[in-house]
């Protein structure tokens, strides 16, 4: 059974552990080891996660049969724009609806808190094997961009999804 919870400060260690476990596998063949290490240190250290929560980033954790197996986050980036990080899910439960549950939870959350239509954007490398997951769910490429990762630059693409507020 899949359960999704909105994370809080008590979940920082869980998010960090999931990132340390899932990100290296997710970027195998896309980023090199030093790039992955930089990303983990920059975005998933204890302090980075605390700062992200302080800044309003929301994390959602997927639990499958009693085990935390996935994570996604989103942050408001403008009046009607939200930035979503990629969904990370344990390989052993991929294909069992965990990623879809996280994606749907994030969309529902944004639709609930946003007053009116908005857009969710995702930065993703065109070589990322998860790209098909997002396009299958309606995200479309809107532009090319890059991500400055300190000593290196990653070419990425921006995918977008329009979200209309659900009527009550």
What is the band of 81 on the pLDDT scale with cuts at 50, 70, 90?
very high
When the pLDDT of each residue in the chain is averaged and rounded to a whole number, the result is 90
* Percent of the chain surpassing pLDDT 90: 71
Three-class DSSP category at 122: strand
107-112: average pLDDT: 95
pTM, to two decimals: 0.90
Q: Residue 160 pairs with which residues in a beta bridge?
A: 121, 140
β-pairing, 2-6 with 67-78?
unpaired
Q: Which fold has domain 2-163?
A: Aminopeptidase (3.40.630)
Three-class DSSP category at 7: coil
Three-class DSSP category at 90: coil
Q: What's the pLDDT at 152?
A: 61
pLDDT tens, position by position, 52-74:
999 999 999 999 999 999 999 99
């Amino acid at each position: 059974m899949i359960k999704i919870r909105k994370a809080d400060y008590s979940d920082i260690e869980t998010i960090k552990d999931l990132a340390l476990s899932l990100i290296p596998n997710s970027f195998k063949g896309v980023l090199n080891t030093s790039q992955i290490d930089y990303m983990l240190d920059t975005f998933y250290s204890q302090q980075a996660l605390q700062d992200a929560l302080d800044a309003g980033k929301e994390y959602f954790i997927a639990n499958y049969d009693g085990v935390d197996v996935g994570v996604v986050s989103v942050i408001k980036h403008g009046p009607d724009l939200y930035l979503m990080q990629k969904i990370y899910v344990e390989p052993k439960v991929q294909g069992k609806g965990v990623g879809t549950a996280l994606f749907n939870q994030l969309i529902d959350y944004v639709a609930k808190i946003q007053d009116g239509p908005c857009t969710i954007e995702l930065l993703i490398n065109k070589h990322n094997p998860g790209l098909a997951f997002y396009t299958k769910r309606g995200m479309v490429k809107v532009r090319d961009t890059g991500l400055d990762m300190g000593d290196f630059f990653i070419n990425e693409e921006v995918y977008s999804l329009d979200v209309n507020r659900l009527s009550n």
